[in-house]
Amino acid sequence: MALVLEAGLAFALGIAAGLEKSFPWWVWGVSLGISGGGLLWLHREQQGRDRWRLACWVLVFCLGGLRVSFATTAQERLASLVDQQTVLMGRVVPGSLRTRRPGSLSFLLEEPRGRVRVFVRKAGKFQPRQGTVEVRGVFRAPDGFYNPGQLDPQVRAAIAGEGGSLETEGRNCRVVDPAPRWQDRFFALGDTLRAQLRRAMGPEDSALLEGMLLGGSGGIAPDRLRIFTRCGLSHLLSVSGSHVALLLGLFASGAALLQLPRKAGALLVALLLVAYGVLCGLQASVCRALLLGLGALWGRVNRKRASSTAFLGLGLLLLLTWQPWWVWDPGFQLSFAAAGGLLLLRRPVEKKLAVWLPFPLARGFSVPLAAQALGLPFLVHHFHMLSLVSLLANVLLVPLLSFCLTLGAAGAALGAAGLTLLGRQVLIGASQLLGGSLWLGEILCRLPGTHWVTGQVPLWVWPLYLLLLCALLELGWFRPGRTRLRRAGLVVSSLALCTVLGLHHFRPQPLTAYFLDVGQGDCAVVVTPEREVFVFDTGGLGGNFDTGERLLVPFLRWLGTDRVDAVFISHGHHDHAGGLAGLLRWMPAEAIYLPNEIPSEDVEKALQLVQVESFSKIVYKMQTNQKIGKKKSIIQTVEAPKLEEKGGKGNENSAIVRVSCDGHSLLFTGDAPAEVEELAAQRPIRSDVLKVSHHGSRTSTSEAFLEAVRPRLAVASAGRRNHFGHPHKETIEKLETRKIPLVRTDQAGALKIVFDGAIPIWYSYRWQRDSF
């Protein structure tokens, strides 16, 4: 391993440690001075090389911690504006303009202190695609969903360089200077390329090829995006080393055809590569790929073999000095891990595979295996799952999709250069090949057992994994000739890994309930001591945001489950049933329990999946006083109104469901109004935890109902700053009068309630994330 790469890794670890804010800047400064003095002494005394390298690592580690001690996020720089009326001026980030719903739009504003996401209602003629604008409105801190299994919204904002958001109306916005800047001109060039794709291909094919060529997945159809995710091919939708390698070959071939001098041709190719990086937005993976591509180009010009590992380490040093918060970016971590795996492990993997496979197959399989070997810890840490068809998909589909990418780039360039007819023919060919690749990808997705959900894996497990990897590939301490040591390493690391990962299934599990942060909606998950998983409502937000696919499924993977024992939908309103179809696309449910009402659009969508894909064994209509016996738990439908013939509008049809286990109980109420609650109050429904009905609306949570339930804890699921004002003051006062503690997802984020004592104990993911 090159010393520069070792330094880059030490610097990254120092950045990560410094971001925890455990030490003030002067501690890092003193440590840096001591390590620097020690390094000079070792050099002067000509001590051993290993000691000198260790001193270098410590020096660079301290340098990383000191660098980040002086770094401030955009949120910190804009903190004084939070919840105030303010005026901001800056340029519109190219390509950030989005139409949210008729008359409303959003865009990113590049302000000197950071980026601000602007939401404009009643936009009218204000349609800022470029230039400098001025906006006036209420500034908000960065926000999002505080759920286990996902990045904290504050960290996500820091990675993106966003300091918050501003809500306003079109009349409070104006264009100060419409003149485009150089960034806008680059984006206009990208628009020209996109236009060529859209003219020659269908909308779905063009959106997918745009994402593959220029990065991003915003316009890609959800079913196609799922194929890439299930097959472990998401890296093709973010510009990476494969993109740069293809373009490097294309540009170099063009320079050779033009018979340019070697250095002049290399300079032209380098400029084109940098222009492509700017066109793609200079994201972390783009910058890393550019640095490696430029390193390879430099080696070709000087007719020397460039040290790729040295350029990888240089990339770490430069990029984290520029943007230290990228160290927490999953894309950044996966990009460097995959590149490191290819550079460090491809030959050892190929050598091992050649013992069992013909050489061409060994070489073909060694590339994805090496890339995934070092990326696996980051995949598991961030996504809590592995695609078991990823290796096969990368071998079969990556060459086809890379050829599609080459054809797409060539066709778009020909069209932009004026050779429209020729460019269109090339793009039509790319479209046909893309269709065949997706067909093959869909077949791979349908293979049984394509995913392994890992759940949470402790960070200290990964040294065991690296020990096993080194023993398998005969690296480091296990180099050839140390047979006994290698065998011992294999046995010890394998047994330790199996023991640690297997303990999860045998640890005691008290009855636990999770109320997820899904905005203005309901979604809860109950896990029994027997590890049965029950879902109560699935949330639902407006637009294309699927709470089932993007919030509930990642959380269930974080729990370590790949199935759901039962799903209960209180009623069909979107904020309760909107995520059901998204959940079923990724995880089968043993049973689905629906309310007594005409199925809503969201429920119909889920039922179609059940009929076509068999994502559930059986679908039930809930009945009043129905009891479902599980292993040690009982789920009782206390009340299941059937009011559709009387003109029920949804809330009146909300089912009230009680879960009891080992003497503990929870009551789920959906959006039941007071009349339905009082019907339920006629039965024995005393419960430890009450999910307050209708997000805490004054039309629910009647006195008679509270008297019947007598909860020890109440939970209100509501969206932050929701325009309904939930939970209402009247409901809060009723609970305070009875001295019933109220916890709210709009304040605390996701909630975890544990029943392992006399009273339920709750934790907030927003405030006490370590307790999860």
Average pLDDT of the residues of the chain: 84
In a domain, 664, yes or no: yes
Between vectors from CA 39 to CA 34 and to CA 40, what angle results, nearest 5°?
Answer: 100
Residue 644 forms part of a structural domain: yes
Using CB atoms within 10 Å of the CB of residue 132, give its burial: 0 to 12 exposed, 13 to 18 middle, 19+ buried: middle
**How many CA atoms within 13 Å lie on the side-chain side of 733?**
4
> What proportion of the chain, given as a percentage, has pLDDT over 90?
30
Give the rounded distance of the alpha carbon of 183 from its chain centre: 27
Predicted model pTM? 0.89
Contact 19, 68 (CB under 8 A): yes
In a domain, 639, yes or no: yes
Neighbours of 204 (CB within 10 A): 17
pLDDT number for residue 575: 93
Same structural domain, 483 and 518: no
In a domain, 761, yes or no: yes
Which of 381-385, 566-570, 613-617 has the weakest average pLDDT? 613-617
Instruction: Quote the pLDDT of residue 652.
Output: 87
Q: How far is residue 317's CA from residue 336's CA, in Å, rounded to a whole number?
A: 12
Stretch among 137-146, 148-157, 560-569, 603-612 having the lowest mean pLDDT: 603-612
Mean pLDDT is lowest, of 302-306, 428-432, 442-446, 586-590, for 302-306
* Tens-place pLDDT, residues 512-570: 999 999 999 999 999 999 899 999 999 998 877 899 999 999 999 999 898 899 999 99
**Do residues 491 and 601 both lie within one domain?**
no
pLDDT of residue 592: 92
pLDDT the model gives residue 210 = 78
Domain containing 7 equals: 3-71
Q: What DSSP element (H or E) covers 576?
A: helix 574-577
CATH value at residue 162: 2.40.50.140
The reply to whether 602 and 465 lie within a common domain is no
Residue 553 lies in a domain: yes
Q: Which of 29, 55, 54, 27 is nearest to 40 (CA)?
A: 55
| Span 318-343, pLDDT tens digits | 889 988 999 998 888 888 888 888 88
Note whether 620 and 733 are same-domain residues.
yes
What does the buried/exposed string (b/e) look like for 390-429 if buried means 16 or more CB atoms within 10 Å of the residue's CB?
A: bebbbebbbebbbbbbbbbbbbbbbbeeeeeeebbebbeb
Read off the pLDDT of residues 688-697 as tens digits, 9 standing for 90 and up: 999 999 999 9
pLDDT of residue 646: 47
Give pLDDT, residue 364: 78
Q: Is residue 360 part of a domain?
A: no
Domain shared by 25 and 87, yes or no: no
Tell me the mean pLDDT in the region 583-600: 90
Residue 645 predicted with pLDDT over 60: no
Task: State residue 644's pLDDT score.
Answer: 53
Q: Are residues 593 and 713 in the same domain?
A: yes
Are residues 591 and 724 both part of a single domain?
A: yes
At 759 the pLDDT is 85
- 147 pLDDT exceeds 80? yes
Return the top range by mean pLDDT from 325-339, 342-356, 443-457, 688-702: 688-702
Confidence bin at 746 (pLDDT 50/70/90): very high
pLDDT in tens, 87-111: 999 999 887 888 877 788 999 999 9
* pLDDT one-digit tens code per residue, 16-55: 998 887 788 888 888 888 888 887 777 676 666 777 778 8
pLDDT at residue 1, rounded to an integer:
59
Domain tally, the chain: 4
Is a pLDDT exceeding 50 seen at residue 217?
A: yes
Q: Please report whether residue 229 resides in a domain.
A: no
Instruction: Tell whether 486 and 614 lie within a shared domain.
Output: no
The residue among 24, 48, 71 that closes a domain is: 71
Q: Is 510 left (phi over 0), alpha (psi -120 to 50) or beta?
A: beta
Q: Are both 541 and 483 inside the same structural domain? A: no
